[in-house]
Amino acid sequence: MSTEDSQNGENRFRRSPTGPAITPPRIPPGRPPAPPPRAPLLKRHFWSIAIFILLVSGVCIRAYRDLSQPDAWTYWKDQYVSPSLTSQVVDTLYLDGSSRGRRALFVSGTIGPAAASWFRTRLDQANLAPGDIVLLASPGGDLSQAVIMGEIIRSRSLATAVGSTDASGRVKPGYCASACVLAYAGGKTRYGVLGSALGVHRFVTTRPVDDPVAEAQRISGAVLGYMTKMGVSSSIVEAMSETRDIRWLSPKQALAMNLVTEQLAKP
* 267, 251 Cβ separation under 8 angstroms: yes
- Tell me how far the alpha carbon of residue 140 is from its chain's centroid: 19
**What pLDDT score was predicted for residue 114?**
92
Which regions in the chain score pLDDT beneath 50?
Answer: 2-14, 16, 64
Domains of the chain: 72-201+246-263 (3.90.226.10)
Q: Given phi > 0 = left and psi -120 to 50 = alpha, else beta, which region is 169?
A: left
**What pLDDT score was predicted for residue 24?**
56
Query: Whole-angstrom Cα distance, residue 63 to residue 41?
Result: 33
**What pLDDT score was predicted for residue 246?**
94
**What pLDDT score was predicted for residue 216?**
75
**What pLDDT score was predicted for residue 208?**
62
Q: What are phi and psi of 85, to 5 degrees?
A: -105, 155
Q: What is the pTM of this model?
A: 0.72
**What pLDDT score was predicted for residue 204?**
72
